[in-house]
Amino acid sequence: MDTTAVETFLRVTALQLGIKIVAAIAFWVIGRWIILRVIRLVQAGMDRRRLDPTLTKYLGAVIHVTLTVVLAIGILGYFGVQTTSFAALLAGVGLAVGAAWSGLLGNFAAGAFMLVLRPFKVGDAVSVGGVTGTVHELGLFGTSIITPDNVLTLVGNGKVFGDTIQNFSRLPVRRVDRTAQLSGGVDAVEACAKLREAVARIPNVSASPAPEVNLLDLNGLGPLIAVRPYCRNEHYWQVYFDTNEAIVRTAREAGWPAPTPVNITRVQQIA
């Protein structure tokens, strides 16, 4: 065996392979840079047209995935891999793991439907899939929500679209629901009037519709008053806590006794 010829063959083959590997890495780096540039240009154009940020981010993610797949197929073609065979391989793998991917595909389809139906957008306060918070991003497969305790939570789009969706930001005002438990000796009508005046003075409480303060129930402690002011969503928690303070302050200024349960003790004599 001619060892010189073998060494020459291996050297040439290794050199060609090394060049292809370096070229593939260069293609990948340059291709990724071009993809990111394209996405930025598309998103910048959509921002100039003042389109919905949710749609902008979603389309950016779709373009990113699509162009990355095209880039990967192109690099494989450079190495001599037949793209038709690769597509057939992907189809076979897709059939084999279709059951495992069904959830991801369902999330993807649900995200597309949400873009069409537009139940919410980025920045809306919502309750979806058992999670309440502010929409941070609508992705290909999941929706990112920032909860009131500042935790970034990802909910699958399939769960979001298949469950009840509450959008607290869609309407101009939102109602704050609080209650005031009074003692049995307090005049409920007078108490409602005082609480109505106090709540109306709270900053950012909406004048239309006006705060609702009414007798909600009667229980063993006394009258139960419903205190329900309206406000814009961004002022919800401020009005919520200020309403609690207004209830306590009004009760203290009016001198209402604290509600206490009444215990009736009966003594029966047995002859």
Per-residue pLDDT of the chain (271 residues; tens, 9 = 90+): 556 665 665 666 666 767 777 777 888 888 888 888 888 887 777 777 766 666 667 677 777 777 887 777 777 776 666 555 555 555 655 555 454 455 566 676 777 777 777 888 888 999 998 899 999 988 777 889 999 899 999 998 888 888 889 999 889 999 999 999 999 889 999 999 999 999 999 999 999 899 999 999 999 889 999 999 999 988 999 999 999 999 999 999 999 998 877 665 666 666 5
Tell whether 26 and 81 lie within a shared domain. Answer: yes
Q: What is the CATH number of the domain that holds 62?
A: 1.10.287.1260
Q: The domain spanning residue 154 has which CATH number?
A: 2.30.30.60
CA distances from 159 to 18, 114, 127 (A): 47, 12, 12
Beta carbons within 8 Å of 81's beta carbon, 6+ residues apart: none
Q: Are 188 and 182 in contact (CB under 8 A)?
A: yes
For residue 108, is it within any domain? no
Hey, what are 9's tokens? 């063959």
Residue among 240, 241, 231, 250 at smallest CA distance from 192: 250
Give the span between the Cα atoms of 172 and 169, in whole angstroms: 7
Residues 154 and 201 in one domain: no
- In this prediction, residue 82 carries a pLDDT of 58
The verdict on 180 and 219 lying in the same domain is: yes
In a domain, 268, yes or no: no
Same domain, 184 and 231: yes
Is 228 found in the same domain as 147? no
| C-beta separation of 42 from 60 below 8 A | yes
Residue 43 lies in a domain: yes
Separation of alpha carbons 68 and 90, rounded Å: 15
Residues 147 and 70 in one domain: no
Clarify whether residues 89 and 9 are in a common domain.
yes
Q: What is the pLDDT of residue 100?
A: 47
Whether residue 204 lies inside any domain: the answer is yes
Q: How many domains does the chain have?
A: 3
Q: Minimal CA–CA distance to 65: which of 18, 111, 15, 127?
A: 111
pLDDT at 68: 82
Domain span holding position 250: 174-254
Q: Are residues 146 and 214 in the same domain?
A: no
Q: What pLDDT, on a 0 to 100 scale, did the predictor assign at position 91?
A: 60
What's the pLDDT at 134?
Answer: 92
Query: 150 and 66, same structural domain?
Result: no
Helix axes of 3-48 and 53-78: crossing angle, nearest 10 degrees? 160
What's phi and psi for 184, nearest 5 deg? Answer: -65, -25
User: Does some domain include residue 111?
Assistant: no
